[in-house]
């Protein structure tokens, strides 16, 4: 796994361009032992997945962990579209997703390709 791939959070956000991550104020999803509250991260760790993009149990739109109330609040506060990030990872692969996110400087929404 490359460093950029390692910076993809379990929910699809890209830690590698997050201001808090870059300033050393957040270790990112993979190294954040304090994030034991995150059911998405816990589920991915339990199944050995890097992110929900690897899940084949159900569509993310129906996943109760991915769509929990706290996840919706998180998405609203940070204006993130985690579902679109997961779909983009599935479409182009995690390495290309990380590259796109790095080039765009974005962490919470995938790059829109026309």
pLDDT in tens, 33-53: 888 889 999 999 999 999 999
CB 10 within 8 A of CB 60: no
pLDDT score recorded for residue 72: 85
pLDDT in tens, 68-98: 998 888 888 888 999 999 999 999 999 999 9
CA 111 to chain centre: 14
Spatial distance between the Cα atoms of 94 and 36, rounded to a whole number of angstroms:
23
pTM exceeds 0.85, yes or no = yes
CB 7 within 8 A of CB 100: no
Spatial distance between the Cα atoms of 113 and 88, rounded to a whole number of angstroms:
10
pLDDT score recorded for residue 37: 87
CA atoms in the 13 A half-sphere facing the CB of 95: 2
């Amino acid at each position: 796994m490359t460093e950029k791939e390692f910076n993809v959070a379990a929910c699809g956000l890209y830690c590698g361009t997050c201001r808090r991550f870059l300033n050393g104020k957040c270790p990112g999803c993979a190294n954040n032992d304090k994030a034991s509250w995150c059911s998405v991260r816990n589920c991915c760790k339990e199944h050995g997945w890097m992110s929900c993009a690897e899940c084949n149990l159900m569509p993310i739109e129906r996943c109760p962990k991915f769509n929990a109330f706290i996840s919706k609040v998180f998405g609203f506060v940070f204006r993130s579209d985690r579902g679109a990030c997961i779909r983009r990872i599935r479409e182009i692969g995690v390495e290309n997703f990380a590259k796109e996110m790095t080039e765009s400087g974005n962490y919470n929404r995938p790059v829109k390709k026309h």
